[in-house]
Amino acid sequence: MRLVFTMVKDKLDRKFGCFELFGLDFLIDSELNPHLIEINTNPALYTDTQVQKDLLPKLVEDIVKLSLAAHPEGKDNGAEALSSVSLDECALSYSLIYKEDF
């Protein structure tokens, strides 16, 4: 995922106070190797299955928490603020795949 993001990061629009959720679709082959099929800029957030009901509300809540933490008091200092965010406060587990120096 780091490679995918690094390849397209210069084409992404950065807008203060905004965030975007990307959906990544994978296919797992018979030998359990993942293959990236597509990346969606507007992923469906339906809760048709129990797994979706368990994960998606937590995901959305965590994204909002991280976004607010990246812009404390309306300031555009995301990199500094995110480095001090405690991911322990989030319901799901995350890994930082890219950190931009401002």
What pLDDT digit, counting tens, does each position of 21-61 carry? 889 999 999 999 999 999 998 898 999 999 999 999 999 99
**11 within some domain:** yes
Determine what percent of the chain falls in helix, strand and coil, rounding each to the nearest 5. 40, 15, 45
Instruction: Return the amino acid letter for 78.
Output: G
Q: How many CB atoms lie within 10 A of CB 91?
A: 11
**65 within some domain:** yes
Helix, strand, or coil (residue 27): strand
**67 within some domain:** yes
Give yes or no for residue 82 having a pLDDT over 70.
no
Is the whole model's pTM more than 0.85, yes or no? Answer: no
**98 within some domain:** no
Count how many domains the chain has: 1
Which residue would you say has higher pLDDT here, 10 or 14? 10
Residues linked to residue 26 through DSSP beta bridges, in sequence order: 36
Give me the domain span that covers residue 75. Answer: 2-89
Distance between CA atoms of residues 21 and 102, nearest Å: 22
Residues linked to residue 23 through DSSP beta bridges, in sequence order: 40
